[in-house]
Amino acid sequence: MNVVVFSKDRAAQLDLLLSSMEHHDGLFAHNTVVLYACSNERHKAGYGAVMHRHPTVKFRRESSFTDDLIGAFDPLELHSMMLVDDCVFTGRLDQAQARACLSRADVLCYSPRLSPGHSYSYTLGRPVVKPIFTSSGPSFSWAWPGADAEFGYPFSVDGHVFRTRDLLAVLCGVANYTSPNTLEAAGASAAAQGAFPAFRSCTSMACPAKPCLVNNAENMVQSDYPNRHGGGDVGAVNERFMAGGRLSVEAFEGLDEGRCHVCYPLAWEGEPLKKGEE
């Protein structure tokens, strides 16, 4: 599986994501490319530390976002996932289950961040209306066109697993994206319009019974959209990371809050996870 991670000025959180991947599936990181950007030398040094700690991961500093992104995918790999650096794996991604779901002609993507227990959208600030689920062994599927909130949002860069050919068709076919956020917006619009064959024929999404991925929106580094976040200081986080601190994988172990985004203060090793904004 191709795994492409987007990161900007968040070396400590990238280290947490990669560590959580290695903790839950030691071979997973061997197929990972990090596409990163940094705004100053201190953040660049932070990425140097992450490279040292994760030698099996490939790192590419962003120069031309679209070209760098498309070039990061091996078209011979059947499946691909994109991630952002404030994601954390809370459990093991069952790649066999993801492959089985994507072997169905009607399934567009497999979402490890969703589950039948998903009940609240942090980004929208409200409860979600659940779709009608169909169970197939340990996985669940539903019709995404017209579904509410994250259940009707197939083109997410927060961990959705796609067939590589379908994902590359979108990446090569949509125009004017220059960042993960503008890419996701363009892909979401294309999905809503049925702009690509997969969006028209693959009308189901699938997920596990329990999520294994969460996005912790403790801070924000992009300026494309005013996304909801906790207002954390990425510079201060980087300095603590450079001084030897590391964010805690164990704090997120087994976390399932019924939402795919949370907003918790960053927990350093030895600290508990404290609930933040609802």
What would the pLDDT profile of 221-277 be if each residue is shown by its tens digit?
Answer: 766 666 677 777 899 999 999 999 999 999 999 999 999 999 999 999 988 888 765
pLDDT given at position 112: 97
Do residues 16 and 50 lie in contact, with contact meaning Cβ atoms separated by under 8 Å? Answer: no
What would the pLDDT profile of 94-132 be if each residue is shown by its tens digit?
Answer: 999 999 999 999 999 999 999 999 999 999 999 999 999
**Which amino acid would we find at residue 220?**
M
**In the 8-state DSSP scheme, what is residue 104?**
S
At the topology level, CATH places domain 2-213 in Spore Coat Polysaccharide Biosynthesis Protein SpsA; Chain A (3.90.550)
**In the 8-state DSSP scheme, what is residue 267?**
P
| C-alpha distance across the termini of the chain, in Å | 34
